[in-house]
Amino acid sequence: MKKFNIKKISIVLYAVLLASVLGFIIINNYILSEEKIELSYSDFIAGIESGEVTKVYLTETSKIEGNLSDGSTFITDNPRVDTLKETLLLNDVSVDEQDGQINMNTVLSFVLLIGVLVGISIYLSKKGTRQTSKEYDKMSKVEFSTQKDSSVRFADIAGNEEAKENMIELVDFLKNPEKYTRYGAKMPKGVILYGPPGTGKTIMAKALASEAGVDFIAVSGSDFVQVYAGLGAGRIRSLFKDAKDKGKCVIFIDEIDAIGKKRDRGGLGGSDESDRTLNALLTEMSGFKGSEGIIVMAATNRIDILDDALLRPGRFDRQIEVGLPDLKARQEILKLYSQNRPIDAEINLDGLAQQTVYFSGAKLENLVNEAAIYAAREDAPYINQNHLDKAFYTVIAGEEKKDRSGISHVDRKITAYHEAGHAVVTKILCPDNKVTKVTIIPSTKGAGGFSMNIPPDRMYNTKMNMINHVKVALGGRIVEEIIFGSDHITTGASNDIQKATEIIVAMIKQFGMHDEIGMVNFDVLYGNRNFVDDDVKQLTKKEMKQLYDETKLMIRENIGLVEKVAEELLRKETLNEDEINKIVGEYDEALLCS
Ligand code: ADP
């Protein structure tokens, strides 16, 4: 059935009204007005004298009109002479002086036309405003999906133990916020989950909501990026209002970086649209009380580009890394997804976990799913190795370049040895430092792997400490050189080189720790913070070379330990503090016995 379009009908009505008024004016002025006889001026004068002209309308215009004795109307030129009226009166012609008055018909038509036009424009503008404000209201509402009691539980998330522990703590807070406020305990209002895509950030937030039995409101940061001024901020306010109306809930903002990018402070005080949106979010977050039982969770792949204001206390003050799964986590994820599928007993899931380095949880799920599709296509009784191999190829081949799952074995080996270098030098030179984690799984903050090295709390840093830190930084590159040869050293050490150079320069320029220079502060001497004179440059190079040689000697003597750590890293990908200490302990024992 055809629908009537109100807008179209209104346009037709306006057109009809306007046409009628114009028609009225034309008919009234041109068609219905009687035909006028054009008289020459001499005929006019003759007519006056003969008594044929009975009435004349005198005006100041160039033409004058009047009536003849038969009632018809004539028109003739106006001589604009003062004597004309006298002549007319002397000849008994009645005179109607109009003093520049305009024909009433014309005035009426004009007024009518203007009236109609004004009426139409007022009506249209009112209607427009009503419509715009209605549309604006509609646009300021952000659409979100709400879920309560979804079936996702923490048990459905494998690996990511630290992140899960953090979340479990929040469940009780969401359930009983009053309990915490009674003790004056402030729970986080906002939590940022950061890490590569597909690692389970969304599912983690969802699980938090369903474990706590509260609503889960999901939006995306890009929903707030708007071209109309103030609309993004309006949407933020409407989101929080809806959340408050619901009571306890988890608001999940995916891709928070779309609204929370670092603000450009270089501009001319520019508070542009994205600033306004971000400010609205900050204001809303500062606005609600902890007792309401609302937690804002946000996810991003790039925590480094977020505005500092977002990460301050009272906002997203808890940041949790959700990283790529290591071997153990991959085994668990694969087990989880094959649990309810008919998998051939021959399949070695642990072996598959070994092969799938740098796969995210989503990708592992996809891998098992693809294999299941291949099995279903063949009507096979079980998902077998062949299906998994095919699925593996499909998943790998379909991936984008950025993905790290294509990292070659050679690169993994380089990373493992490089990280083992850092860890071993730390263990030998800084026994008080804790090496809490060494991994060849890349972090979102930097390339390759990393080793987490926590120095003991101390008020002062000694010269020896600083030298040791330089040596730890150089350890990675030195191992690369010893194991792979000087032609095969890699770019992986660029951050280490920067750090080592900065420490040496600071020792010379700031801390008076170099014998040849002595206690001189270069900032005072040159009045320029960044100035490095030739002496400092030469000394830095000399010092670096010497520390490099010393570290190399030390690593050569302990290359067996480096190899042990690297091999374990290649096997397990991540080593925790106990595992590292165990390797070091066993190595020491072996040395003592030999
Ligand atoms: P992100 O938000 O980090 O991009 P998602 O939470 O959307 O990732 O993950 C996509 C899907 O991948 C999830 O719905 C889940 O099925 C699966 N997944 C990801 N990580 C895990 C994990 N650690 N354990 C179980 N499933 C996971």
Q: Which atom of ligand 1 is nearest to the CA of 365?
A: 17
Q: Cβ(361) to ligand 1 under 6 A?
A: yes
Cα 200 to ligand 1 centre (Å): 3
Question: Is 466 near ligand 1, meaning CB less than 6 Å away?
Answer: no
- Report the C-alpha gap between 319 and 298 in whole angstroms: 10
Quick one: pLDDT at residue 447? 54
Show the domains of the chain with their CATH numbers: 2-105 (3.30.720.210), 150-321 (3.40.50.300), 327-397 (1.10.8.60), 409-593 (1.20.58.760)
Report whether pLDDT(444) > 80.
no
**pLDDT single digits (tens) 112-156:** 888 878 877 777 777 666 666 666 666 666 666 666 656 788 988
Q: Determine which of 26-30, 255-259, 280-284, 402-406 has the lowest per-residue pLDDT on average.
A: 402-406
Mean pLDDT in residue range 257-281: 71
Please state which of the ranges 223-227, 233-237, 322-326, 427-431 shows the lowest mean pLDDT: 223-227
**With 90 as the cut, is the pLDDT of residue 382 above it?**
yes
What is the pLDDT at residue 100?
A: 46
Ranges 6-10, 78-82, 393-397, 574-578, most confident? 574-578
- Is 577 part of the annotated catalytic residue set? no
The pLDDT value recorded for residue 267 is 44
* Top mutation candidate among 152, 165, 199, 204 for ligand 1, by most atoms within 8 Å of CB: 199
Instruction: Let me know how many helices (H) and strands (E) the chain has, helices first.
Output: 21, 14
Q: Does the beta carbon of 166 lie inside 6 Å of ligand 1?
A: no
Please work out whether the CB of residue 331 comes within 6 Å of at least one atom of ligand 1. no
With a cut of 80, say whether residue 359 has pLDDT above it: yes
Please tell me the distance between residue 347's alpha carbon and the centre of ligand 1 in angstroms: 23
Nearest partner of 476 among 462, 495, 463, judged by Cα: 495
Residue nearest to atom 11 of ligand 1 (CA): 362
Provide the pLDDT for residue 133. Answer: 63
Which pLDDT band, with edges at 50, 70 and 90, does 18 fall under?
A: confident
- Among 157, 186, 161, CA closest to 173: 186
State in Å: Cα 254 to ligand 1 middle: 13
Of 287-296, 443-452, 466-475, which has the strongest mean pLDDT?
466-475
Q: Cα(503)–Cα(511) distance, rounded to whole angstroms?
A: 10
Contacts (Cβ under 8 Å, ≥6 apart) of 256: 192, 221, 298, 299, 300, 306, 310, 316
pTM of structure: 0.57
Q: Is the pLDDT of residue 383 over 50?
A: yes
Closest approach atom of ligand 1 to CA 254: 2
CB of 200 sitting under 6 A from ligand 1: yes
Of the given ranges (28-32, 55-59, 136-140, 268-272), which has the lowest mean pLDDT? 268-272
- Separation of CA 530 and ligand 1 centre (Å): 46
Q: Is the CB of 366 under 6 A from ligand 1?
A: no
Residues 303, 277: Cα–Cα separation, whole Å: 18
Catalytic residue selected from 65, 370, 419, 573: 419
Asked if residue 333 has pLDDT above 70, the reply is: yes
Rounded mean pLDDT of 497-506?
Answer: 93
Could you give the CA distance from residue 14 to residue 10 in angstroms, rounded to a whole number?
Answer: 6
Residue 333 in contact with ligand 1 by CB distance below 6 A: yes
The arithmetic mean of pLDDT across residues 8-23, rounded, is: 72
> What is the per-residue pLDDT for 132?
63
Cβ of 320 below 6 Å from ligand 1 = no
**Pairing of β 434-439 and β 574-576:** antiparallel
Test site for ligand 1: of 208, 365, 369, most ligand atoms within 8 A of the Cβ: 365
User: What is the distance in A from the centroid of ligand 1 to the CA of 158?
Assistant: 9
Assess whether the C-beta atom of 76 lies below 6 angstroms from ligand 1.
Answer: no
Range with the lowest mean pLDDT among 31-35, 507-511, 528-532?
31-35
How many angstroms separate the alpha carbon of residue 537 from the centre of ligand 1? 50
Looking at every residue in the chain, the average pLDDT score rounds to 82
Which band of pLDDT confidence, cut at 50, 70 and 90, is reported for residue 404?
Answer: low
Q: What's residue 269's pLDDT?
A: 44
The per-residue pLDDT for 51 is 87
Nearest CA to ligand 1 atom 12: 362
List of E strands, 224-314:
249-254, 294-300
Please indicate whether residue 66, judged by its CB atom, sits closer than 6 Å to ligand 1.
Answer: no
